[in-house]
Each structure stands twice: as structure tokens, then as C-alpha cells.
Structure 1
Amino acid sequence: MKALGLGDNVVDKYVNYKIMYPGGNALNFAVFAKKLGVESSFMGVFGSDEEAKHVISVIKEIGIDNSHSRFVTGENGCARVEIRNGDRLFLGSNEGGVTRSSPIQLNDNDRIYLQNFDLIHMGLYSQVNHLLPELQKIKAKLSYDFSDDFTEGDIKQIINQVSFGFFSLSGYSKEKAKEFLIEHFQTRNKLLVTTRGENSVLAYDGKEFYEAMPILEEPVDTMAAGDSFLTAFLISYLQGDTIVQSLEKGNEFAARSCMVEGSFGYGMNY
């Protein structure tokens, strides 16, 4: 199995500690997939600043293929974060930096490269929605993280172009979350999945619902908990586990991820 994180990379600057950590939904997916034993790659856009240099060096150290990324002059994606009692509070960002201002446009070599993957993951902040029509032509299953910041317009544009959709619906009751998944399930979808904070995770395959409880422990840092969950879920499911087994493995991996500072460590003073 080969997996690709397509889109965003950032540094998360923890302002109360003056430490920055690499992250971003697509990059987190690639790193977590690698940790779970899957051959993984990342394809995105990097800036020319010290933040970009740090992320690039970490990707190289971890051993993730980065050969089809772009490198342009400008600010790398950057977010400012404060940690209070293990929870993250976002203070603002540069809205993706060069990932937004210089989005990827596929060339022929990229199209050949993308045919190598079984699973491609992207998300609401990845700045690659414009690539979705082209991605329909490749064999890979497509996964999309709508996070908690989606609009109905986002869903309508994207949902029927992906196999797997993930939503964060913290505060939704179980019944309200089920209604949401039923309403948005489309013919292209294999599964829609929602986390609900400390409440049960739900998956829907167009016919039945599946449920598992998260593992609640005192976190060191909840950054990328959702990313780690969806990565472990997808890999487990695509490797043949049942939906419930995959939800449970996603929850287990997310709990372990919350014991690590930053998305996946590798902090550097700034």
C-alpha cells in the first residue's frame, strides 16, 4: 500500500513556548502513515524561509518522499498557537503562505507519479480543491478532511469527488450527527466519518452506522488528534479490517498522538 498526503504543510508556532513544530493536515497524514508502516509521500508547496527549511529537514529525516513538491520564494505556511492545559488555541495564521499564493498545478510527470498511489489524502486547508477533477482519472482512493470549518458550499463542491469524507462535529448529538451524514452521503462515497470530541465516533456507509468510543486520557497536546485518527482508520480499513475495528484503531492511535508535543514532535526554538 502506498499513500500520499497532498497539499498543506505548516509550522505551528507555540507562542508561549517559542517553539515551532512541523504540521499541516496533508503532511501529518504522510508522517502518521509512515509511522504505521505504510510507504508514504508528501506533495505540497514550500516557501524559502527558516520555517520551510525546518519542515523540509524533518521530512528528510523521517524518510518521506518529497520529490514532487514545489519550492518557491515566500513565506511557508505558518500558524500561531497557544497551549492551555493540553488544548490548542489557534491565534491566527498566514492562511497557508505560498501553498495558497502558489498552488500546485499538475504537469505530466506529476500525473504519472500520482498513478503510483493507492490512497491520496487532502483537506480543507490543502489548497488543492482545483485538482479534484484531474484526480478522478487515477486509481487511488481519495480522502478528504472537512475539519470543523466547512461550509455547505464546500461540501457540495467536494463530497461526490471523494471516497472518504471526515468531519469534526463536536457538540452534535448522536442523532444530529447521523442526520448530517445521511444528508451528505453521495454515490461516490464509500464512508463518511465524524468525530465528536469526547463523544463517540460515527461512520456511515450509506446503509448502516458504525460507532466507537474515543480513548480519553489527559493529553500532552491535542494537536493533530483528528489527523492521526483518520490516518490510522483509513490504513486499517484499506488493509482489510472491519469498519468498527478501524474506528477503534483510529481512536487508539489518536490517543497515542496526544501524548506527543506538536503534531508529531520535532520542535525547534524560534
Structure 2
Amino acid sequence: MNVLGLGDAVVDKYINKHIMYPGGNALNFAAFAKKLGQQASFLGVFGSDKEGSYLKEVIDSLKIDRSHSRTRNGENGYSEVKVLDSDRVFVGSNKGGISSGKLLKLNKEDYDYLRDFDLIHIGLYGQVDHLLDKLQAMNVLLSYDFSDNFTTEKVDGIISKINYGFFSLSGKDSNYVKSFLKRNYTSNNKVLLATRGSKSAIAFDGKNFFEKKPNNIVPVDTMAAGDAFITSFLLAYLSSGKDSVEEAMAKANIFAAKSCQVAGSFGFGAKY
């Protein structure tokens, strides 16, 4: 498959270790897809600072295409993180940095480029929601990670424009999650799925619900476990053999568990 992460490439700064790692929903998706053996690309905005340069070096080393990305004069997006008992706690950010100051505009060459992808993945923090109408009109499969910080208004405005939607609903019981997924499912959706931390993930395909418990492991770092799950699920479900929803969820659990044995989203730590 040929897939693309559209939106955010940020630096996660582990302030109690003075180490930074590449991250962001869109970049994580591309990196995990590459790790899973797929053709992967990234399109987004980098800052002109050392953090932006570091991200581009990592992306190039992974052989992820970024040829249509932009570099703007200013600060790259970053978050500040502490790791407590192997779990990551976000303590601050620059709210996307330069990418949030002026929204990304795509030209004809960009849209021609995007038409060649089997799937485009976007996250809540990617600063590219304004592009969804044109992307939907291209008839390219779209997936969207609403994370855990979505609003009802955000879901209502986006859900009918995408094919695959993902939510983080930790702390919610299964009845609530099933009702939520069924209520928000539209005719344009293929699968909506909610992860619930250490509890089972639940998916809905418009007719049936599917539920899988995560693999029980002792993590090194839980950063981007959700992104790893989403990427693996999508690639397994959309592969030529087309696994069932349940089979794709099982593979996603295995891959997400493995990702939790790596520091940062997918490694490549550097001192700062």
C-alpha cells in the first residue's frame, strides 16, 4: 500500500531526561507504516529551527518521502513530556508552533500528488481540517484520529467526510462506547473504533460491534501506542487479503505492544 500522513510532525521533549524524540500523529503514522513494510510519505510544515532540521533528518533516514512538505521561518511544533512509571504525561507545548500560525495551503501539484495514495491519515492536532472537503472530493480513503480531546462540534463537522475514525475513550464503559460509535456512524464511514487504554478496544462497522483486549505487557514507554494501533489496524484491514475487523484489531494489539518497548514514539532520541 501507498499511504501518507498529512499534518503534524513535532518534537516530544522529555524534560526529565533532556532527550527529544520525533512525533506527531501524522508523522507517527508514516513511520509505523514504513516499519510495517508499506510505502509511506509525509506532508506537513517544518520549522526553520534545529528541531525542524532534526525531524527532516529522521524522516530522510527512514526513506519516507517529504517532497511536498514546507519549511517556514519559525519554531517547529513541540510538546514537553515527563515519563512517570513508564507512562507519558504531557506538561506543555507550543501549540503546533509555526504550523498553527498560518494554515497549510495546497496547490494543484500537491493535490495531483495526493491522488496517488491509497489512504491519507490525519490527526486532531494536524492543523489541516480545512483541507478535508477537497480531499473527500478526490475519492481517496481518509482516516482521522480524534484522540481524546475532541468536541461534539468537531466530530459533527468531520465525521461524514472520513472513512475511518478513531477515538480515545479511556475510562468509558463498553455500553457508552458502543452507543457513542453507533450514534456518530454515517453512511460515508466504514469503521469507527475506540481505544480505551488498558481496557478492550471496540469497533463498529455499521452493523456489528467488535471487541479486543490489548496485550498485557510491561511497557518501556506508552508514547504513540494509539498511533501504532491505528496504523497497524488500517494496514491489516485494507491489505490485499483484507483481514476481518477482529483479525486487524488482533494484529494492531501486537504491534502496539511492541511499540511500547521503544522509547519515544518510534525511537531516534537525541539530546537537546
TM-score by length of 1: 0.99
Matches within 5 A, 1:163-182: 163-182=163-182
Matches within 5 A, 1:152-231: 152-231=152-231
For the residues of structure 2 that align with 1:49 and 1:236, how far apart are their CA atoms? 37
Tell me if 1:101 matches 2:101. Answer: yes
For the residues of structure 2 that align with 1:224 and 1:182, how far apart are their CA atoms? 26
1:250 is matched with which residue?
252
Tell me if 1:260 matches 2:262. Answer: yes
SS at match of 2:210: strand
CA RMSD of aligned residues (A): 0.6
CA displacement, residues 164-216 of structure 1 (integer Å, 9 cap, x when unaligned): 00000000101111011011111110000000111111110111101111002
SS at match of 1:136: helix
2:52 is matched with which residue?
52
CA displacement, residues 103-145 of structure 1 (integer Å, 9 cap, x when unaligned): 2111010010001100000010000000000001223200000
Question: Does the aligned pair in 2 maintain the 1:117–1:139 contact within 8 Å?
Answer: no
Question: Does the aligned pair in 2 maintain the 1:212–1:244 contact within 8 Å?
Answer: yes
2:5 is matched with which residue?
5
Question: Does the aligned pair in 2 maintain the 1:13–1:80 contact within 8 Å?
Answer: yes
SS at match of 2:92: strand
SS at match of 2:147: coil
TM-score by length of 2: 0.98
SS at match of 1:265: coil
1:80 is matched with which residue?
80
Matches within 5 A, 1:123-162: 123-162=123-162
For the residues of structure 1 that align with 2:251 and 2:139, how far apart are their CA atoms? 25
2:25 is matched with which residue?
25
For the residues of structure 2 that align with 1:140 and 1:31, how far apart are their CA atoms? 20
For the residues of structure 1 that align with 2:245 and 2:191, how far apart are their CA atoms? 9
For the residues of structure 1 that align with 2:193 and 2:201, how far apart are their CA atoms? 7
1:15 is matched with which residue?
15
List runs of 5+ in structure 2 lacking aligned partners: none
SS at match of 1:264: coil
For the residues of structure 2 that align with 1:138 and 1:3, how far apart are their CA atoms? 15
Question: Does the aligned pair in 2 maintain the 1:45–1:102 contact within 8 Å?
Answer: no
The alignment covers a number of residue pairs equal to: 270
One-letter code of the match for 2:37?
G
For the residues of structure 2 that align with 1:104 and 1:157, how far apart are their CA atoms? 19
SS at match of 1:262: coil
For the residues of structure 2 that align with 1:127 and 1:216, how far apart are their CA atoms? 34
- C-alpha displacement at 1:33, in angstroms? 0.3
